Amino acid sequence: MNGSKSLHDRIAEHVRVLPRSGIRDFFDLVSQMDDVVSLGIGEPDFVTPWHIREATIYALEKGHTSYTSNLGLYSLREECCRYVEEQFGVSYDPAKECLITVGVSEGMDLALRALLNPDDEVIYHEPSYVSYNPSVAMAHATPVPVATTAEDDFILKPQQVQGAVTPQSKVLISNFPNNPTGASLNYSQKEELAKKAVGNDLLVLTDEIYSELTYQDAAPSLAAFPGMKERTVLLHGFSKAFAMTGFRIAFACGPAELIEAMMKVHQYSMLCASVIAQEAAQEALKNGEKSMLAMRREYEQRRNVIVKRLNNAGLDCMTPKGAFYAFPSIRSTGLSSKEFAAQLLEKKKVAVVPGTAFGQAGEGHVRCSYAASMEDIEIATDRIAEFVEELKS
Ligand code: PLP
């Protein structure tokens, strides 16, 4: 091997320079400790509703174990388009405007890879879901984060988008209700944002994964506003509202030409989503509303409890309008987000995620997931209150 390059040097540069997810590192640490109460995990604590699991088992019993069309089962695409029209107020043709993907994660990656050339810029709001920035970088384009703030309830203001636009701007990513802040946009805020996208000729990727979990100010998807359908990919999935993270199943709706481009990337990288996950998704859309609403009611109660308790503990916390995250400020403690999370874990065995795991704009905050039992929420917030109190002495 003398004279040959190290493996490290042979890894593609744009991948080598990517940081590992801050959440992963933190939870590797948590997994080595006993008795930790975790508000860290970004997935439902509910198991997938039984009727969906049963439909999956039945699909296997019937021997449904093959590939499907690259686009996904036609019957599922029909259900997705029906659901999107009802839920989001936009109609799509299941034959050519809908693609079944392996999670919203894959849908986002496909859209970015299908759209981006090396000099293109992608505007997105931070703090944001951890994959947006690296997914843009892996598509060889430039991520342009726009900081949202607690003072503005973490909404993305149209003038912020305007300020970030350059001749290279091509795509705007939007995710409301938001991970990690729980922020949501009301009708007029979405309307104004849509006007900015149209006015600046931006393509829009709207990540609707938490949409069902909206507790206040529900509004149609950005895709439903005038001039938007033809420039938007609506990404949605089953992981959160239907508690189906492990099924890895989602879908994308958008203009036929763009869905066709995404389908080509999908065809050569993934081929198709798992057929049994597709059958499960079909059951979720057909008969899953009742169990989904029951989970939403439970999240809403937990939200009310966690927000009250965090504020009582001396951490300013906006009431999140959606998703299942509270994002309190920890500035009053004088600690950085990472210090707060590390010391809380060490001293009180409570896991929360440092806000900076979601981008620099998350500094001064931590993410507390309330996809945890009420008992865990109460124990964790009691310990947080003790921790904050002890910091004062
Ligand atoms: N988008 C957001 C905003 C998320 O928070 C997550 C998961 O946490 C995903 C996408 C990934 O979803 P999926 O499981 O469908 O890949």
Residue type, 148: T
Is the pLDDT at 200 greater than 70? The verdict is yes
pLDDT band at 31 (very low <50, low <70, confident <90, very high): confident
Atom of ligand 1 nearest to the CA of 104: 15
Q: From ligand 1's centre to the CA of 21, what distance in Å?
A: 14
How far apart are the CA of 108 and the centre of ligand 1, in A? 9
CB 129 less than 6 A from any atom of ligand 1: yes
pLDDT at site 323: 98
* DSSP H/E element including 351: strand 350-351
Query: Mean pLDDT lowest for which of 1-5, 281-285, 300-304?
Result: 1-5
Nearest atom within ligand 1 for CA of residue 102: 16
CA-closest residue to ligand 1 atom 7: 42
Please report which confidence band the pLDDT of residue 12 belongs to, taking 50, 70 and 90 as the band edges.
Answer: very high
Average confidence (pLDDT) over 278-290:
98
Mean pLDDT along residues 74-91: 97
Distance 10 CA to ligand 1 centre (A): 30
Confidence of residue 280 (pLDDT cuts 50, 70, 90): very high
245 CB near ligand 1 (under 6 Å): yes
Domain edges within the chain: 7-47+290-392, 50-286
Structure tokens at 42: 């970004």
Q: Fill in the amino acid letter for 330.
A: I
Atom of ligand 1 nearest to the CA of 245: 14
Amino acid identity at 133: N
7-47+290-392 against 50-286: fold identical = no
Q: Strand, coil or helix: what is 216?
A: coil
Q: Residue 186's pLDDT band (boundaries 50, 70, 90)? A: very high
In angstroms, the Cα distances linking 218 to 302, 321, 369 are 19, 9, 21
Q: From 102, 128, 129, 266, give the residue whose CB has the most ligand 1 atoms within 8 Å, as the site to mutate.
A: 129
pLDDT surpassing 60 at residue 359:
yes
Q: What is the pLDDT of residue 3?
A: 72
Check if 103 has its Cβ closer than 6 Å to any atom of ligand 1. yes
Quick one: how far is CA 250 from the chain centroid?
A: 12
Judge whether 354 and 319 are in contact, CB under 8 Å. Answer: no
Kindly state if the Cβ of 105 falls inside 6 Å of ligand 1: yes
Pocket test for ligand 1, best of 27, 178, 206, 209 (most atoms within 8 A of CB): 209
DSSP H or E segment with residue 303: helix 289-312
Entry pTM: 0.96
User: Which pairing describes strands 250-253 and 98-101: parallel, antiparallel, or unpaired?
Assistant: antiparallel
Return the minimum-mean-pLDDT range out of 1-10, 130-139, 255-264, 279-288: 1-10
| Ligand 1 pocket check for 243: Cβ under 6 Å | no
Whole-number Å distance between alpha carbons of 33 and 92: 48
Give 28's pLDDT tier (boundaries 50, 70, 90). Answer: confident
What is the number of the ligand 1 atom nearest to the C-alpha of 210? 3
pLDDT confidence of residue 150: 96
Q: Give the model's pLDDT for residue 205.
A: 98
Tell me the fold of 7-47+290-392.
Aspartate Aminotransferase, domain 1 (3.90.1150)
Q: Which two tokens stand for residue 79?
A: 């259900």
Nearest-CA residue for ligand 1 atom 6 is 129
Q: What is residue 229's predicted lDDT score, i.e. its pLDDT?
A: 98
Q: Compute, in angstroms, the gap from residue 87 CA to the centroid of ligand 1.
A: 19
- Out of 210, 234, 239, 245, mutate this one to test ligand 1's pocket (max ligand atoms within 8 Å of CB): namely 239
Q: What is the pLDDT of residue 217?
A: 84
**How many angstroms separate the CA atoms of 366 and 383, rounded?**
15
Phi-psi region at 63: left, alpha or beta (left = phi > 0; alpha = psi -120 to 50): left
Take residue 360 and report the two structure tokens written for it.
Answer: 């620099």
**Contact call for residues 80 and 251 (beta carbons, < 8 A):** yes
Is the CB of 358 inside a 6 Å radius of any atom of ligand 1? no
Q: What is the pLDDT of residue 249?
A: 98
Q: How far is the CA of 146 from the centre of ligand 1 (A)?
A: 20
Q: Name the nearest CA neighbour of 27 among 372, 353, 388.
A: 353
Q: Is 4 strand, coil or helix?
A: coil
Q: Which residues contact 29 (CB under 8 A, 6 or more apart)?
A: 345
pLDDT of residue 194: 98
| Full DSSP string of 25-41 | HHHHHHHTSSS-EE---
Asked if residues 233 and 254 have their Cβ atoms less than 8 Å apart, the reply is yes
Instruction: State in Å: Cα 212 to ligand 1 middle.
Output: 14
Which two three-digit tokens encode residue 128?
Answer: 């944001």
pLDDT above 60: residue 1 = no
Nearest in space to 273 (alpha carbons), one of 7, 117, 127, 64: 64
pLDDT (0 to 100) of residue 4: 84
User: Rounded to the nearest 5°, which phi and psi values hold at 37?
Assistant: -95, 120
Residue-level pLDDT at 2: 59
Are 156 and 174 contacting, i.e. CB atoms less than 8 angstroms apart? yes
β-strands 232-237, 350-351 pairing: unpaired
Q: Which residue has the tokens 């686009």?
A: 71
- How would residue 171 be classed by pLDDT, with cut points 50, 70 and 90? very high
**Average pLDDT of the segment spanning 66-95:** 97
Distance CA(250)–CA(237), nearest Å, equals 4
Distance CA 43, CA 210 (A): 11
Question: Quick one: residue 359, left, alpha or beta (phi over 0 = left, psi -120 to 50 = alpha)?
Answer: left
Least confident of 20-24, 145-149, 257-261, 281-285: 20-24
Task: Measure the CA–CA gap between 5 and 167, rounded to whole angstroms.
Answer: 39
Tokens 């006993």 label which residue?
34
Using the predicted structure, report yes or no on whether residue 177 has a pLDDT greater than 90. yes
At 36-56, the pLDDT tens digits run 999 998 999 999 999 999 999
End-to-end CA separation in angstroms for the chain? 59
Determine the Cα–Cα distance for residues 71 and 96; give it in Å rounded to an integer. 8
Express the helix, strand and coil content of the chain in percent, nearest 5 each: 50, 15, 40
Q: Does domain 50-286 have CATH number 3.40.640.10?
A: yes
Summarize the confidence of residues 78-106 as an average pLDDT: 97
pLDDT score of 26: 76
CB 124 within 8 A of CB 145: yes
* Token code pair at residue 33: 């400790």
Q: What is the pLDDT of residues 324-343, one digit of tens each?
A: 999 999 999 999 999 999 99
Tell me the CA–centroid distance for residue 334 and ligand 1, in Å: 31
